[in-house]
Amino acid sequence: MKKIVLYFAIVILVLFVVAYFIFNEKLPTGGNPEKADLMAQKMQVALNKSAWDSTSVISWTHKGVHHIVWDKKNEMVQVKWDKNDVFLNLKEWNKGKAFSEGKEITDAQLDVLRGKAWAIFCNDSFWLIAPYKVFDEGVTRKIVKTDNNEEALLVSYASGGVTPGDSYLWFLDKSGVPKSYKLWVKILPIGGIEATWDNWTKTKTGANIATSHKLGPMTITVENLKTGMNLQEAEVKTDLFDIIK
């Protein structure tokens, strides 16, 4: 049995090495930041960033497993997964609370669950609104010439989230709407993997959100998407975050 396990481990390692050398791409350097800013601004206009900025509350389900309510205006987040229900106060971390199977967690596991909820929120919200984050603090923008002699927008994050240093190469249509991007991120061992941005949906507040992404064999979905200028408009209980205020 040990020999069989070792054999499969070696096979998997060999396949990974082969895949790495075939598919791994080096991060392009890019240039012309002034033109890149114009390209990024065109994307913002195409997606109606002003509508996103004025959106106070958004809720959604990520890949059918994470359920998130984000009160942008008051900087509070609810993240539900498995048997866990965690409330984060982004202004006052210690006010965050966690529940598992309906029981409040008050021991050392509380920080574990809050940390996990924060990581889920950072990842899932990025898949939701990454195009709106290209002018965040610490972000650089450059133009990259593709093999087809087209221009793509390279966006690199020096800070923010849980994996600062990640970079994304955006491919836009003629109107400025994202079609896909390539990723150079710490959680993926192979650089340059491409993910699509599909099924664009105009929300109640006017912001445009892509509700489907294809990343290799995996499909990342956004479901139960709701927005509003307050909790009630987003069909969320108005007292949802009272416990962490």
Give the per-residue pLDDT at 162: 58
| Cβ atoms 127, 23 nearer than 8 A | no
Question: Which token pair is 7?
Answer: 């054999």
Tell which residue, 56, 113, 96, 100, has the closest CA to residue 236. 56
How far is residue 14's CA from residue 230's CA, in Å, rounded to a whole number?
A: 53
- Contact present, 38 and 171 (Cβ < 8 Å): no
Query: CB neighbours of 212 closer than 8 A, spacing ≥ 6?
Result: 196, 198, 199, 219, 220, 221, 222
User: Phi/psi of residue 119, each to 5°?
Assistant: -65, -40
Spans in the chain with pLDDT lower than 50: 2-22
Question: Of 110, 217, 118, 190, which Cα lies nearest the Cα of 161?
Answer: 118
pLDDT for 233: 97
**Main-chain phi, psi angles of 153, to 5 degrees:** -105, 115
**Alpha helix ranges (H) inside 106-203:** 109-129
- In the prediction, which pLDDT does 56 show? 98
Comparing C-alpha atoms, which of 196, 158, 170, 222 is closest to residue 42? 170
Instruction: Determine contact, residues 134/126, Cβ cutoff 8 Å.
Output: no
C-alpha 208/C-alpha 210 separation (Å) is 7
Give the model's pLDDT for residue 163.
64
Query: With 0-12 CB in 10 A as exposed, 13-18 as middle and 19+ as buried, what is 21?
Result: exposed
Residue 103 confidence (pLDDT): 97
The amino acid present at 92, given as its one-letter code, is: E
Which pLDDT score, from 0 to 100, does residue 5 have?
36
- Give the pLDDT confidence score for residue 115 in this predicted structure: 97
Measured in whole angstroms, the distance separating CA 225 from the mean position of its chain's CA atoms is 15
Which pair of structure tokens corresponds to residue 202?
């105009």
Distance CA 89, CA 8 (A): 45
Q: What is the number of alpha carbons within 13 Å of residue 226 lying toward its C-beta?
A: 15
This prediction has a pTM of: 0.87
pLDDT at 165: 86
**Smallest Cα–Cα separation from 182: which of 166, 165, 161?**
166
Question: Residue 62: beta bridge partners?
Answer: 66, 222
Helix extents (H) in the chain: 2-23, 33-47, 49-54, 109-129
Q: Identify the structural domains of the chain with CATH numbers, from first to last.
A: 28-244 (2.50.20)
